[in-house]
Amino acid sequence: MEVDDGDAPSASRRALNAEELLEEAEREAGDVQLEAVDPRAVRRLAGALSKKASVNLEQRTRHAGEPSRFLESEIELDEAINALQAVAAAPELYPVLVEAGAPETLVSLLSHDNADVAGSVLELLAELVGEDAAEEALDPTLALVAALEAAGLLSALGQRLTSLDERVPEEAAAARAALNVLQALVELDPAASPRVLGATGAWLLGRLTGAGEAGAVDALLRAISPYRKRDAADADEREYVESLFAALCALLIEPAARRDFVEAEGVELMVLVLKGRRPCRLAALRALDFAATECPEAAARLVARGGLGALFGAFMGRVGARGRREEREEEEARAVSLVCTLLCLLPPAEPAFARVAAKFVEAEHEKVDRLMEVLFRHEARVQAGEARLVAREGADPDPDALLLARLDAGLFTLQQCALIAGALWRVGDAGIRRRILTLLHQRARALSTLRDVILGRLEALGDDGG
């Protein structure tokens, strides 16, 4: 049987076509040679990018509504972005790229009106900070990442991602490149995770769940729920649980997410985790602290759902007594913060407020003793922090440096302890007042000690804090 191969090219014909194509490509290339990537070339490429971006911006502004008038400059800008791909092969030259101002230009282009231009930037960034670059030259890559962050990379990424339509293939590719960038940032610096989540967490979770912010909160709570009854099995699962709580706290910065948290019974879930004394109890306490901030509904729900017992267990230092020092200190600070929030947010006439205040009467005012012990300890730390700064910089240190030194030493917790004591004094209970005065007098202190700390807090907050 013969096969008609008239429509099928022979092997010799295919080879001939390949040779012709090669010859054509060589003719088109002409005498062009690949340029070596050296500091001079990097500066030239960065300069070209800056110039093309400026020209395009000027033409877009001048000829708004007439795309044909700035189309050529946009093509040239895209070519300038793509030309920087060559620098990814020489990450040791990233400091030159930073010095030339490329990070600022690239970050600014993420907000370009043309999504294709922003997509080219995202693809370039994914190459520049990718795994290969980090393995070959870690320190220069970290320096580039630091420069990008300083230029506002995370904020720009968050804004760009929300405008992408992943039904469009080019924009879907840009979203994938952005995910690669985010992954690289976290792998290079795990401490950047909260910043990354703060800027892009809502978009990431919405992308995973196909829902908005409310759906993201609910999805996280569902993922956390199994760990109210069991611990993570290994290190990878522990990291997964930590990431869930980190994402939740990042979302709870937004007031709308705090309301969603209350509606989705997030307070109840965190209370169960606290009562179960699981390893993730500190994360649950942290989430409650975030949720109750400026959210009276969450504060009232915490009291109504029986959360005071677990909260004051942490406040007294009983729950995390065997944990690492850093964990114990954070648990103490979170518990103080949450108690302060309850006493400051709940209306004094409400039963919920009375239930919180009554805790300080129990067991012969032991919680007042604990409150003042924490207050005096943090007062000493703040004074020591001030002394160290004065010893280092002289008797008249910079006010901003002084404030930072005091905050690092524990000023925020000191102020919250003073606010708790002030709220309790306002209750008018004679036993609580006597106990506070006794503990102050034992340290040769007066009520003015508390007043001065509270006034310092109000002064730092400004008029809005009054």
Q: Which residue, 188, 210, 230, sits at the end of a domain?
A: 188
What does the pLDDT average to over 178-199? Answer: 88
Instruction: Return the DSSP state at 110.
Output: T
108 lies in a domain? yes
User: What pLDDT is recorded for position 462?
Assistant: 62
Is it the case that residue 88 has pLDDT exceeding 50? yes
What does the pLDDT average to over 165-185? Answer: 88
15's CB contacts (< 8 A; 6+ apart) are: none
Answer for the pair 414, 437: CB distance below 8 angstroms, yes or no: no
214 lies in a domain? no
465 lies in a domain? yes
State if pTM tops 0.75.
Answer: no
User: What pLDDT is recorded for position 16?
Assistant: 43
The b/e string for 156-179 (b: 16+ C-beta within 10 A; e otherwise) is: bbbebbeebeeeeeebeebbebbb
Q: Which CATH number belongs to the domain containing residue 118 in this structure?
A: 1.25.10
Least Cα distance to 271 among 217, 309, 243 occurs for 309
pLDDT confidence bin for 297, thresholds 50/70/90: very high
Which amino acid is located at 177 in the chain? A
pLDDT confidence bin for 214, thresholds 50/70/90: low
> What is the chain's mean pLDDT, rounded?
87
411's CB contacts (< 8 A; 6+ apart) are: 378, 382, 403
338 lies in a domain? no
244 lies in a domain? no
pLDDT confidence bin for 19, thresholds 50/70/90: low
pLDDT confidence bin for 417, thresholds 50/70/90: very high
22 lies in a domain? no
Answer for the pair 73, 52: CB distance below 8 angstroms, yes or no: yes
What does the pLDDT average to over 280-293? Answer: 95
User: What pLDDT is recorded for position 30?
Assistant: 42
How many structural domains is the chain composed of? 2
What does the pLDDT average to over 84-103? Answer: 94
| Runs of H (alpha helix) within 346-410 | 351-358, 362-393, 399-409
Domain span at 442: 373-466
Q: For residue range 107-128, what is the model confidence (pLDDT) as tens digits? A: 999 999 999 999 999 999 999 9
Answer for the pair 42, 87: CB distance below 8 angstroms, yes or no: yes
Residue 263 C-beta-side C-alpha neighbours within 13 Å? 12
Answer for the pair 106, 158: CB distance below 8 angstroms, yes or no: no
Q: For residue range 74-85, what is the model confidence (pLDDT) as tens digits? A: 999 999 999 999
Cβ-count burial of 390 within 10 angstroms (0-12 exposed, 13-18 middle, 19+ buried)? middle
- Written as one string, the DSSP assignment of 127-170 is HHTSHHHHHH-HHHHHHHHHHHHHTTHHHHHHHHHHH--TTSHH
Q: Can you count the helices (H) and strands (E) in the chain?
A: 25, 0
Per DSSP, the three-state class of 89 is helix
Q: How many CB atoms lie within 10 A of CB 104?
A: 16
Tokens 């800027």 correspond to: 199
Tokens 């220069």 correspond to: 140
Q: Which residue, 188, 218, 237, sits at the end of a domain?
A: 188
Q: For residue range 25-70, what is the model confidence (pLDDT) as tens digits? A: 445 444 434 456 899 999 999 999 999 999 999 999 988 888 888 9
23-32, 228-237, 417-426: which has the highest mean pLDDT? Answer: 417-426
Answer for the pair 200, 252: CB distance below 8 angstroms, yes or no: no
330 lies in a domain? no
Q: For residue range 124-143, what is the model confidence (pLDDT) as tens digits? A: 999 999 888 888 899 999 99
222 lies in a domain? no
Q: Which residue, 188, 218, 235, sits at the end of a domain?
A: 188
Answer for the pair 355, 339: CB distance below 8 angstroms, yes or no: no
Instruction: Return the DSSP state at 356.
Output: H
What does the pLDDT average to over 434-447? Answer: 95
Answer for the pair 279, 227: CB distance below 8 angstroms, yes or no: no
Percent of the chain whose predicted confidence (pLDDT) is above 90: 60
Is it the case that residue 321 has pLDDT exceeding 90? no
